[in-house]
Amino acid sequence: MSFLEIAKSRYTTKKYDATKSVTTDQLEQLKQILQLSPSSINSQPWKFTIVQSPELKDLLATKSAFNEQKIKDASHLIVFNVLSTKENYEKLRLANAAEGSKMYYNNFLKPKSEEEVTAWLKNQVYISLGFFLAACGSMGIDATPMEGIDTGEFDKIINQDGIYKSTFAVAIGHRDSEDANQPSQNPKTRLAQEIVIEVR
């Protein structure tokens, strides 16, 4: 399947088949793909928490508002976390970075405020999200990216040391045949190219 075909066929799954799971081999591939995610200056300010324990998954589901049932029925939940402070990034990533990365950070990012740098770090995690969703689509795995989680409550459970903080999560698994959001029942809609793309 070409990447264009994957882009046309993937969608945000709203209902999962709780009897179907992502295989061990697929999960190992996804781990490698997450590890290989691209980021600006190879900053990699993330940690990906793969939740497969039914008990933990169900607990996190209760902190996820309208996404509770999706998380409970999905095979796994991936929580995308980011280093919580500028200091944590500098100690845990920058110290071991390539010289070019250090130079860029020290010259252009370090002088910025805590708020600006942590926003930049969070942007990197969103890059990994797009990479991950495309990978799931290529492997025939359905996925649901969700910002509708209580990140504060998530952090009390999985980030108690405060080094990282959760940003969003992705449920993965296999769609229920009755999922009303799948393209065969709810055709994908996107803005026209002339609205969102310009060639100059």
CATH number at residue 184: 3.40.109.10
pLDDT tens by residue, 67-90: 999 999 999 999 999 999 999 999
* pLDDT tens for each residue of the chain, 200 residues long: 899 999 999 999 999 999 999 999 999 999 999 999 999 999 999 999 999 999 999 999 999 989 999 999 999 999 999 999 999 999 999 999 999 999 999 999 999 999 999 999 999 999 999 999 999 999 999 999 999 999 999 999 999 999 999 999 999 999 999 999 999 999 999 999 999 999 99
**Mutual orientation of helices 114-138 and 24-35 as an angle, nearest 10°?**
140
**Number of domains forming the structure of the chain:** 1
Q: What is the pLDDT of residue 1?
A: 84
Which pLDDT score, from 0 to 100, does residue 191 have? Answer: 98
Q: Quick check: helix, strand or coil at residue 80? A: strand
pTM for the full model?
Answer: 0.96
Q: Are strands 164-173 and 76-83 parallel, antiparallel or unpaired?
A: antiparallel
Give CA–CA dist 66/20, Å, rounded.
22
pLDDT in tens, 111-128: 999 999 999 999 999 999
Residues of the domain holding 79 = 3-196
